[in-house]
Amino acid sequence: MKTFLLIFGILFATSCTTKTSNDYARDSEAPSETLSAGFLIVDGVYNSELIAPFDIFQHTIFHTDGGIRVFTVAPNRDTITTFEGLKIIPDFDFTTSPPIDILVVPSAENSMDTDLENSEMINYVTTMGKRAKFNVSLCDGAFVLAKAGLVDGKESTTFPSDVERYRQMFPELIVHENVSFVHDGSLLTSQGGIKSYDVAMYLVEVIYGREVAKKVGKGLVIDWDPANYQFIVVK
């Protein structure tokens, strides 16, 4: 099992070298060019898992050069109806999708069953995910990433009550519980729900640094300090 750092509330001293998200962000210069975040949407997508990271990433354009351009991608351009009834016209379909730096897979009503049988969608996720800098899942979106082979050899999490089903479907994976999200290399997986904001804020800090993340948080009334959140960074 890979060595990992559990961050819970305050960072406690450990025998290993601790690495915060701010340290990770300083490993390279923040990009000045615009990054693209493509959100996979299908009928039954859940509002929270879609809107939370969409809001966070979109707000970066006000606080840093370039920022993140957000858009939605669906199997076709027909109107998507979320689980809660929101109507959305996708920006792109699978054949017109532009390159994606951050692939985001929100949870949907059928993420654990029939969506996984959609070979066109899974192939799209596999192709775009392998090219992306980061792959992010919210809630049961982890099932889609795992089916697409993007969780192979990595550690992850999913919606709390679906962890056992996730383990049964993908027994080769290392799966964590009781954390908001897990970051393993290019993969970030979240419990979802209201915690969908946590992983998005964290990734903004990873890419752009603490100050930009705090500015984004201020605009959305989020008092961002990663020391106050429970998550795992796989080393």
Q: What is the mean pLDDT of residues 4-32?
A: 44
Query: Across-strand partners of 105?
Result: 137
Give the three-class secondary structure for 155: strand
**Per-residue pLDDT for 130 more than 90?**
yes
Query: Is the residue at 54 inside a domain?
Result: yes
Query: Is the residue at 16 inside a domain?
Result: no
Query: Is the residue at 230 inside a domain?
Result: no
Q: Which residue has the higher pLDDT, 192 or 22?
A: 192
CA dihedral 122→127→130→135, nearest 10 degrees, is -50
* Residue 128 pLDDT: 98
Q: Which residue has the higher pLDDT, 50 or 4?
A: 50
Taking the alpha carbons at both ends of the chain, their separation in whole angstroms is 11
* Residue 154 pLDDT: 98
pTM: 0.89
CA distances from 228 to 107, 145, 180 (A): 25, 27, 11
Domain containing 196 equals: 25-224
* Residue 28 pLDDT: 56
Q: What is the mean pLDDT of residues 114-140?
A: 98
Residue (of 206, 202, 193, 208) closest to 225 by Cα position? 202
* Residue 30 pLDDT: 79
Cα 83 vs. chain centroid, distance in angstroms?
Answer: 19
Question: Cβ distance 53 to 78 under 8 Å?
Answer: no
User: What are the φ and ψ backbone dihedral angles of 144, each rounded to 5 degrees?
Assistant: -65, -45
**Per-residue pLDDT for 3 more than 90?**
no
**Per-residue pLDDT for 173 more than 90?**
yes
- Domain tally, the chain: 1
**CA dist., res. 193 & res. 142, Å (int):** 13
Query: Is the residue at 13 inside a domain?
Result: no
List CB contacts of 51: < 8 A, sequence separation 6 or more.
Answer: none
Query: Across-strand partners of 156?
Result: 175
Query: Is the residue at 143 inside a domain?
Result: yes
**Per-residue pLDDT for 23 more than 60?**
no
* Residue 115 pLDDT: 98
Q: What is the mean pLDDT of residues 55-77?
A: 97
Query: Is the residue at 109 inside a domain?
Result: yes
- Supply the CATH number for residue 184's domain: 3.40.50.880
With bands split at pLDDT 50, 70 and 90, how would you rate the model's confidence at 15?
Answer: very low
Please compute, for residue 209, the number of CA atoms within 13 A of its CA located in the half-sphere on the CB side: 12
Q: Which residue has the higher pLDDT, 134 or 3?
A: 134
**Per-residue pLDDT for 58 more than 50?**
yes
Q: Which residue has the higher pLDDT, 38 or 11?
A: 38
Query: Is the residue at 71 inside a domain?
Result: yes
* Residue 54 pLDDT: 98
**Per-residue pLDDT for 24 more than 50?**
no
With bands split at pLDDT 50, 70 and 90, how would you rate the model's confidence at 221?
Answer: very high
Query: Is the residue at 70 inside a domain?
Result: yes
Name the average pLDDT for the chain: 90
Residue (of 80, 75, 158) closest to 123 by Cα position? 75
**Per-residue pLDDT for 5 more than 80?**
no
Residue (of 18, 34, 6) closest to 133 by Cα position? 34
